[in-house]
Amino acid sequence: MKTSLYNDHVALGARMVPFAGWDMPLVYRGIIPEHLWTRAHASVFDICHMGEFEIKGATAEADLERLVTLGVASLKPGACAYGYLLAEDGGVRDDVICFRLAPDRFWLVVNAGTLAGDRDWIRAHLSPHTTFTDLSPATAKLDIQGPGARQGMEAAFGQALPPLGYFHFQEVTIQGTPCLLSRTGYTGEFGYELYVPANEVPRFWNCLLKSGQILPAGLGARDTLRVEMGYPLYGHELRLEWRPAGASRGRFMDMAKPFIGRESVRRELETGAYRVLVGLLLEGRMAGRAGDPVMKDGVGVGEVTSGLFAPSLNVAVALAYVDQAVSRPGEALAITVRGKSLNARVETLPLYKNGTAREAR
């Protein structure tokens, strides 16, 4: 499938790659330059492949409360929160952001690769009077991320944006078009996720790029940015075969309310019998990759789920699940890569400490 911006990406010289059934831009000018520009200025990412569901009605809150791990009742209109969509056995079906637009109206933003499965699963678990609408085909998503995002967008659109706290959003009208603007993102930098009608997204994209303050960035930079922050990527750090205890150590889950999968998550948290997701700092440029074993004194203690050269840290890093006994910051471990042993030290997340995501701008 192609997003509404496919021709714009090709015109910009993007290298297109298949991702979750979509042809997506991997890189325009270079992954590292796009990464560094995002940290220092602002970039726009085409994220139209992700899915948006609207869930509405007097019973929507109670239905969502059972479906997702985050606390829905405590979510005020204009706020959004991150959590998991679990299977009965606690396996992670997806990680989602839940937006409350009104007391009886919600959005769930879901991953592209899990969209169809999520849709069936959610519909099968809704009360008869809760309405479900898959907004994805008609909804485009642009992520504008970086310390200069607000300034760049206000200049591009010729209008002021409302002040928004982190993980808050507002329905806004931009150049006459109704949009949803959210102070969220996947880079660790200040910025927004902007939802616009799919048929209007080429106009928004080109308007944002016109001044040169905001440059396009591809999925390559999106990955390096999120790995430096320790943000999980579904299919790497989160999987249907794994429960979420080790990914978040209990965060993003309101254990005081019943939700699908809770009993198995509770058992796991109580017994402590799970590996935890940690960040690893290596010593050189050579990187471990997903699937590479993590060792302590020659014994296997974990596995890498994402690994790459981190452009802002100028060293290779990894995300890995490791035994709790070796998960403390400072712990000296090793990753076996092509028969070589690379020293790796457990480091607190985020690996990149200077992100601006929570700053007011």
Residues that bind other proteins (CB under 8 A): 15, 26-27, 30-32, 220, 223-224, 284-287, 289, 308-309, 316, 338
Nearer to other proteins, 36 or 62 (CB): 36
Nearer to other proteins, 17 or 87 (CB): 17
In whole angstroms, how close is the CB of 216 to other proteins at the nearest point? 15
* Rounded distance between C-alpha atoms, residue 65 and residue 259, angstroms: 7
In whole angstroms, how close is the CB of 70 to other proteins at the nearest point? 32
In whole angstroms, how close is the CB of 19 to other proteins at the nearest point? 12
In whole angstroms, how close is the CB of 27 to other proteins at the nearest point? 5
Scored b (16 or more CB within 10 A) or e, 202-231 reads bebbebbbeeebbbbbbbbbbbbbbbbbbb
Nearer to other proteins, 72 or 287 (CB): 287
Contact indicator for 326, 302 with CB cutoff of 8 Å:
yes
In whole angstroms, how close is the CB of 220 to other proteins at the nearest point? 6
* Rounded distance between C-alpha atoms, residue 224 and residue 232, angstroms: 12
Nearer to other proteins, 55 or 320 (CB): 320
In whole angstroms, how close is the CB of 32 to other proteins at the nearest point? 5
In whole angstroms, how close is the CB of 82 to other proteins at the nearest point? 26
Q: Taking the CB of residue 196, how many other CB atoms lie within 10 A of it?
A: 22
Nearer to other proteins, 30 or 235 (CB): 30
Nearest to 351 by CA among 255, 201, 230: 230
Q: What is the DSSP string of 256-280?
A: TS--TTHHHHHHHHHHT-S-EEEEE
105 CB contacts (<8 Å, ≥6 apart)? Answer: 54, 55, 56, 60
Q: Which residue has the tokens 């929507």?
A: 60
Nearer to other proteins, 99 or 309 (CB): 309
Residue 310, token pair as written in the block: 């981190």
Nearer to other proteins, 13 or 21 (CB): 13
* Rounded distance between C-alpha atoms, residue 291 and residue 283, angstroms: 19
Nearer to other proteins, 30 or 350 (CB): 30
- Neighbour order of strands in the sheet with 80-86: 80-86, 92-102, 105-110, 51-56, 131-134
In whole angstroms, how close is the CB of 28 to other proteins at the nearest point? 10
Q: Which residue has the tokens 């898959």?
A: 134
